[in-house]
Amino acid sequence: MRRDEIVEGDALHPGDPVVIDRYSTAARFNHWMTAASLVLLALSGLALFHPALYFLTGLFGGGSNTRAIHPWIGLFLFLGYMGLFFRFWKVNLWTPTDGTWLKKLHVFLIGHEEDMPEVGRYNFAQKAVFWWMGILIMISIASGLVIWEQYFAAYTTVDQKRWAVLIHSVAAIVMICIVIVHVYGALWARGTMTAMIKGRVTGGWAWRHHRKWLRELAADPKANRGTATPAE
Ligand code: HEM
């Protein structure tokens, strides 16, 4: 099966015979590695954030282990996101349709997606998650290095560390909120998890949520190659 063609007869759901490849195995591995890093990073970060959450250090073998592991998980998240970035940056570029879509956001939020402008591979909200996660990960890495006592204690002043802790915490909290929205969106639109688990979606899913992308694929199956790397 060519990964970028619309395939007949390989049903994900009975009655919906058209199946479209959306993510390669490598892209899904990259995504879930990034997602796992973020969850572990949030748990270990929250454990160090407030005494009431200190019990979470139990998951990482105690306080000092949590403190030692947390920055390394951060580097893992950074690498994972860089992989996603190079795979997906092109398809997340802004198009004029995104502006029209944003203006009608309230229509989307009350569940009338059928009245929204036709969407390409990603909608405005998905693109916003993509770019904001990138910005916040950069901010977290930069501020995290300033407060990484084990290696960089000597290079920064106490004042710089205080600012860095504040910036690091705010960025982390915003990031956690964005990921909650991302996961909610993935669960809310039925069939979206299948995209990231099996790599495929139904024609019906594409018609409902990414009709412009479906039309592009129907007109030219190679349109799925609109990314830096094929079919991702
Ligand atoms: C923690 C649980 C997570 C779940 C359940 C989840 C679920 C999903 C699903 C189902 C998709 C496919 C959406 C579609 O094809 O329309 C997706 C796409 C994506 N996810 Fe996640 N995700 C999670 C965490 C993350 C994290 C932590 C990041 C980044 C730091 C991330 C970045 C992305 C990116 C870049 C895409 C491709 C969409 C785009 O490029 O705009 N995800 N996710």
pLDDT tens track for 101-143: 999 999 999 989 999 999 999 999 999 999 999 999 999 999 9
- The C-alpha angle with vertex 159 and arms to 157 and 73, in degrees rounded to 5, equals 75
pLDDT digits (tens, 9 = 90+) for 30-76: 999 999 999 999 999 999 999 999 999 999 999 999 999 999 999 99
Q: Report CA(159)–ligand 1 centroid distance (Å).
A: 36
**Average confidence (pLDDT) over 151-168:** 94
* Four-CA torsion 198, 21, 135, 187, nearest 10 degrees: -50
pTM score, whole prediction: 0.88
Instruction: Please state, in angstroms and rounded to a whole number, the distance separating the CA atoms of residues 22 and 24.
Output: 7
Q: What phi, psi does 95 have (nearest 5°)?
A: -125, 160
Q: List Cα–Cα distances, 48 to 57, 100, 171, in angstroms.
A: 8, 42, 15
Q: What percent of the chain has pLDDT over 90?
A: 81
The three-point CA angle 173-160-170 to 5° equals: 10
Q: Does residue 228's CB lie within 6 angstroms of at least one atom of ligand 1?
A: no
Question: How does the average pLDDT of the chain come out, rounded?
Answer: 89
Q: Please report the pLDDT score of residue 230 as a whole number.
A: 39
136: its two tokens: 């916040």
Query: Given 31, 182, 209, 210, which residue is catalytic?
Result: 182
Position 15 scores a pLDDT of 57
Nearest C-alpha to atom 35 of ligand 1 is from which residue? 130
Pairwise pLDDT comparison (151 vs 73), residue with the higher score: 73
Rounded to the nearest angstrom, the distance between the alpha carbon of 62 and the centre of ligand 1 is 30
Q: Which amino acid is at 7?
A: V
Show Cβ contacts of residue 57 under 8 Å, excluding neighbours closer than 6 positions.
44, 47, 48, 63, 65, 66
182 is catalytic: yes
Candidates 21, 28, 31, 95: which one to mutate for ligand 1, based on the most atoms within 8 Å of Cβ? 31
